[in-house]
Chains A and B, each alone.
Chain A
């Protein structure tokens, strides 16, 4: 009987090894270990054996069973792994094919620049003030120390609609309106970004419509040196930490003293290049201490309050920052132009 069991074991293991798939294996299992299988048959005949032989053969039969089971398990996991491997190989794709594009637009470069500047001043405790683009002569000129007939009105040829209503030539009327709302009580700390209009022929450097960002701080003890501090922070954040700034005296009707701010050229770091016209400096913005007349007209006591104001052109800043050579690009909206500002 032992020989018979031994032969069954060899036979079963041989068939297990030959099994091609899990179905074959299952058949082998049923054939050898099933209730009607040969080993069961062998065990059924144990009654004929002597009492001494019975436990020996019984133990041996279990041993054979276990061996076959072990082989079955081993083969099964082999076959399973092979099946998975085959499935995976069938599922293999070409990872070099292009992915599905995600639709995504981006801001206009002017918006990108304005937003960057807004965020910078918001972080310094400024708020954003807004006002109408169609303005009265009073807020656009008179409240800013530009009475009718003032020669500086010549500097800004305007789109008048009626004698008293015009497209604003600057965002400064927002300053006048904001100060007025404060009813003589400081502090005022705003920036006012927006569109402005001048009677210019559109060419590479002129646009009849463009953007401006102006800032205004009115409080007790505001100094020109504070303006320098704010502008220096702005210049370093906007154009790089190693920028130097320089203030030059200038003239604006609504500030006195008035200054223009240059930054050291970010292209050549002051050595001189085409961007800075060989001077090492780039003109960025105009600023100054708020003219006492402007404070008084808006209801502030100019003996008690002082303030500073500044104004800059996002087009100019964007042109410098991105090396754009023609202001008309901003308003033509060529999609090939717009798409370039994905990461602006």
Chain B
């Protein structure tokens, strides 16, 4: 909402500067987002009188004018505007003047003719082109004939004004008009509000003779009032009105339309002026549109209506969409003489439905949607009618033809001063409270700190005690509320075990060299299904109205987005990357989503290109499967899950079929690790890329053993190394499992320390070397015991895999 400072001052006494006022308004509840000076750096612009205006001898499009710029001085000014003419009062930038953009005016010669200054258009004076009245859109602005040559043109054009831009929260629709803001400012500055005079001398004629009004549903349209103003003369509205409209962001059109807009801004009441002679009947009927009914609106668009829209009709055809836009057929035009003025209260739901469906949001519709003051409709009608009489020479017929209830009863809300002080932490007295309500213009009864406050109809946002407490608090001043500390008992805060573990996972992965990424949860429908390792049928979840296909469907894996990050960086020539993300994925097993989907926290990583390098020592190692597996093994150790995790070769969509392992916890799949499928790598244009994905929710919900201290070994351990020859495709993990089982209690560690698959081996065979550590914490082992256990191991290996000791 744009509020002109000068206009505001008409209703309330303001003795502080616009910026001081803005500060006070902001502090007590309505954020002033900006204070804009309408003078965008102008000086030296005066009123001039065009005494003579002749064609430039050397240029078709230029005119040479003799302009009286005051104090008897007549300057020659060359002007290019098509509408400049002798006898006009105009704004002249004299030599030495400055226009917006620090544009300095100097004496000049234009095609051989001296020019002492410049005749200005409104745009040249910094007015937004959209707001300049159409007749002056391509030329200079012509000022009223009573303007005094030589005087400050900015005063006439109100360009010394300031505009306050209010950021209104939805509860403060009462400040969507100048009088509403005046009420607020009056409360803040402890001043009275002076309302405009709305008295009218009406004619002998009675409005009821010209029109009848009928409402089909009072729920859709609780009140409709029509006034008749006859014999108006259409023309421009006075400059002061045009100035205020422009300052408020509305383009002046003609006196009748300007008056409806002016009163809209002043009272917050949307009004509409119909050309009475073009109504096509003598009745107004307000009803729902029929499905598919058409109307040609003011903007000359043909609009197709729905049953949820409310229309004003002439008893037959729609002549306006209620609260949204008038129809073209009954539009006020330059030959209009008789006006029907509509002042109504339409249900916000009806206006919202039509404005949304038709894509029409106007000053009027947005006010209806946010709620207007029901009890101010009539006053606004009177105000507009009186202005039409005054400024357009109209004769106002007596009375207002109405249907529905003109006013509704107001209500009261109770408030207890001690409860208020308990909630705010203050010690505000009943007297102070009463005086604040007075400033707000709220009447009340009080006894012993119990207030009963009559809520004015302009403040429907106040319905409960807390609302009144807020009113008192904000006018009292939040800066006067003390700072205290919670009285409640001290209870320990802290992370849950699960939260702490998630932090541990992040810290570990960062320690392992991975950078954390945060990506979007919405992806494409196709990508949402990639990398699924769920065996059951799942249904992607798409939002109903996505902003784009790219962000339409909830992810079921973090990897597609992490791969996008790799691509993004690759496109910027960063090809060696190690990143991870921890975030939610959304799994839906319902064909139709009726219950909330399952959400799991996943932790996933992607590493591509060089992972370890130390260049001058000649080391440059690209990532491989075992780098990522090592990271996961370390992570599982961190989570105390090492013993329960297994890695089994497996296949996942989009992963390399021979380089992927399914990660299992207690035999149940919780994720995978491996290389991207080479085809996908090619598609993404990335180097060899290894990824992992783990369901952290599943990992962390498993109970882990309480850590118990192990006595440090007091007896020596005995180590035996074995080198085995086995079939090439036999997984090393299988050997380890068998060694571990056969070795029994005494075998405490098995470590693979060599793998050989070279030419010295028989075809189809490989050699693996393990180091086995035997140890008993209670005593020194005898050679015999170790030999027994070790032979058991060798026998098992031979039996199970035909493993031979390497010679």
Contact = CB atoms under 8 A, between A and B. Distances in A.
Contact of B29 (A126, A162, A197, A249): A249
A331 B518 contact: yes
Contact of A106 (B479, B516, B551, B593): B516
Nearest to A231: B483
A217 interface: yes
B479 A246 contact: yes
A195 B555 CA distance: 14
Q: Which of A111, A154, A249 has the most CB of B within 10 A?
A: A249
Contact of B515 (A97, A105, A122, A225): A105
Contact of A330 (B518, B586, B614): B518
Contacts of B597: 134
Contacts of A110: 518
Interface in B479-517: 479, 481-496, 499, 503, 506, 509-517
Interface in A94-146: 97-98, 100-101, 103-108, 110-111, 115, 121-128, 130, 132-136
Contacts of A268: none
Contact of A105 (B493, B509, B599): B509
B516 A338 contact: yes
A195 B371 CA distance: 33
Contacts of B614: 100-101
A107 B577 CA distance: 15
Contacts of B521: 133, 167, 195, 197, 209
Contacts of B494: 122, 127
B496 to A, nearest CB: 7
Nearest to B614: A100
Contact of A225 (B170, B481, B503, B596): B481
Interface in B544-586: 544-547, 551, 554, 565, 568-569, 572, 574, 577-580, 583-584, 586
Nearest to B572: A334
Given A225-B482, A249-B478, A250-B29, A256 B470 contact: yes
A39 to B, nearest CB: 51
Given A197-B521, A229-B486, 6 more contacts: A104-B511, A106-B515, A108-B516, A155-B170, A189-B491, A249-B29
A229 B484 CA distance: 5
A23 interface: no
B581 to A, nearest CB: 8
Contact of A248 (B31, B506, B511): B31
Nearest to B168: A251
A275 interface: no
A228 B479 CA distance: 10
Contact of A333 (B425, B511, B568): B568
A109 B578 CA distance: 16
Contacts of B583: 195
Interface residues of A, number: 85
A224 to B, nearest CB: 5
Contacts of B469: 256-257
B195 interface: no
B659 interface: no
A316 B280 CA distance: 58
20 contacts: A105-B513, A134-B599, A159-B544, A161-B544, A195-B583, A208-B522, A209-B520, A217-B488, A224-B481, A228-B484, A246-B478, A247-B478, A247-B481, A250-B29, A260-B31, A289-B466, A330-B518, A335-B569, A335-B574, A336-B572
Contacts of B503: 115
Contacts of A260: 31
Nearest to B479: A246
A37 interface: no
Contacts of B482: 225, 228
Nearest to B518: A108
A165 B706 CA distance: 40
B464 interface: yes
Nearest to A339: B515
Contacts of B197: none
Q: Which of A165, A209, A224 has the most CB of B within 10 A?
A: A224
A135 B586 CA distance: 12
Contacts of A336: 572, 574
Interface of A: 97-98, 100-101, 103-108, 110-111, 115, 121-128, 130, 132-136, 149, 151-152, 154-155, 159-162, 165, 167, 186-187, 189, 195, 197, 199-201, 208-209, 217, 219-226, 228-230, 232, 246-251, 256-260, 289, 291-292, 306, 330-336, 338-339
A232 B577 CA distance: 41
B541 A122 contact: no
Contacts of A149: 349
B547 A201 contact: yes
A247 B499 CA distance: 32
B145 interface: no
B551 A223 contact: no
Contact of B596 (A135, A228, A334): A135
Given A201-B547, A228-B481, A124 B470 contact: no
Nearest to A246: B479
Contacts of B371: 151
B27 interface: yes
A145 to B, nearest CB: 11
A335 B579 contact: yes
Contact of B493 (A97, A126, A335): A126
A189 B487 CA distance: 13
Nearest to B487: A221
Contacts of B369: 151
B496 A208 contact: no
Contacts of A162: 544, 593-594
Given A125-B493, A195-B521, A217-B486, A161 B593 contact: yes
Given A105-B515, A108-B518, A165-B593, A134 B483 contact: no
Contact of B510 (A104, A220, A225, A258): A104
Given A105-B512, A197-B521, A232 B483 contact: yes
A225 B574 contact: no
Given A162-B544, A167-B543, A291-B466, A222 B486 contact: yes
Contact of B466 (A165, A251, A292, A331): A292
Contacts of B616: 97-98
B172 interface: yes
Contacts of A195: 521, 583-584
B697 to A, nearest CB: 11
B409 interface: no
Q: Which of B470, B583, B586 has the most CB of A within 10 A?
A: B470
**What are the 5 tightest A-B residue pairs by CB atom distance, in nearest-first order?**
A225-B425, A103-B513, A251-B169, A257-B470, A223-B425
A123 B512 CA distance: 29
B26 interface: yes
A334 B569 contact: yes
A160 B544 contact: yes
Interface string B24-42: 0011110100000000000
Contacts of B527: none
A238 B578 CA distance: 30
Given A201-B547, A208-B547, A333-B579, A103 B593 contact: no
A155 B370 CA distance: 12
B423 interface: yes
A160 B312 CA distance: 34
B514 A189 contact: no
Contacts of B613: 101
B473 interface: yes
Contacts of B28: 249
B788 interface: no
Q: Which of B488, B544, B612 has the most CB of A within 10 A?
A: B488
A274 B543 CA distance: 38
B488 A187 contact: yes
B543 A160 contact: yes
B5 to A, nearest CB: 18
A251 B546 contact: no
B29 A111 contact: no
B513 A104 contact: yes
